[in-house]
Amino acid sequence: MRYFIELAYKGTHYHGWQYQPDASSVQETLNKALSVILKKEIDIVGAGRTDTGVHAKKMYAHFDYETEIDSKIIVHKLNSFLPKDIVVFNILKVHDDAHARFDATKRTYQYHIHTFKDAFENDGSWLHQLPLDIDKMNEACQILFKHNDFECFSKTKTDVRTFNCVIFEAHWQQKGNQLVFTISADRFLRNMVRAIVGTMINIGLGKITFVDFEKIIESKDRGQAGFSVPAHGLYLTQIDYDYIK
């Protein structure tokens, strides 16, 4: 039987989602917890990979187990066993061919910036105090919808077959000293969101124009795009599936 597990985590103390032999990861931590509680070696498959320091407000993974699971009991046991920076919300029985990564139809990320020093925001938001033109940054978002190939925002060493992504939503919102960028797509390349944010920061600072932004995308050259903003401001906030409502 196949199960989906819905969870969230603060990525500050993890070297990303994916298992690494010499560093702590969310995947390894969850594998160990499930294996102890279910009394069987469990190997979970995540909906995607988040980099070192990146957070997830909603993440899915799947695993196989031969008998029926009482979701409420196992969720309670997991949350008692797991460290305080990982929380499990639900365990869902799905069809045997369901796949947490390949069946996802949309993923949503948010990037958080605070524009004035805040003693409580340092682990989950990036401090950027220079004035930004948010209207121009939102105009630049419209340019993203015109394109599908985002190689210029991808890490150069990657094993993907295509750099094509369909972006469904992209916008900036500001409330007081809090600035949030939201972006949804069918898939994301490694480092893509952080590189887009860094490039749009350059638009907001007046360092590049809309024409420059479009040329950067068309160049397919990571060296032409802006800097990657720090990981600790990035959150995976939503993953959509046709069979999970």
* Binding-site annotation, residues for substrate: 109
* Tally of CA atoms within 13 A in the half-sphere of 220 that contains its CB: 5
Among the listed residues 110, 16, 103, 23, the one whose alpha carbon sits nearest the alpha carbon of residue 61: 103
d(CA 14, CA 83): 12
If phi over 0 gives left and psi between -120 and 50 gives alpha, with beta otherwise, what is residue 241?
A: beta
Q: Which of 51, 212, 221, 240 is catalytic?
A: 51
Tokens of 68: 């029926």
d(CA 150, CA 128): 25
d(CA 144, CA 216): 11
Decide if 51 is catalytic.
yes
Q: Which residues are designated catalytic?
A: 51
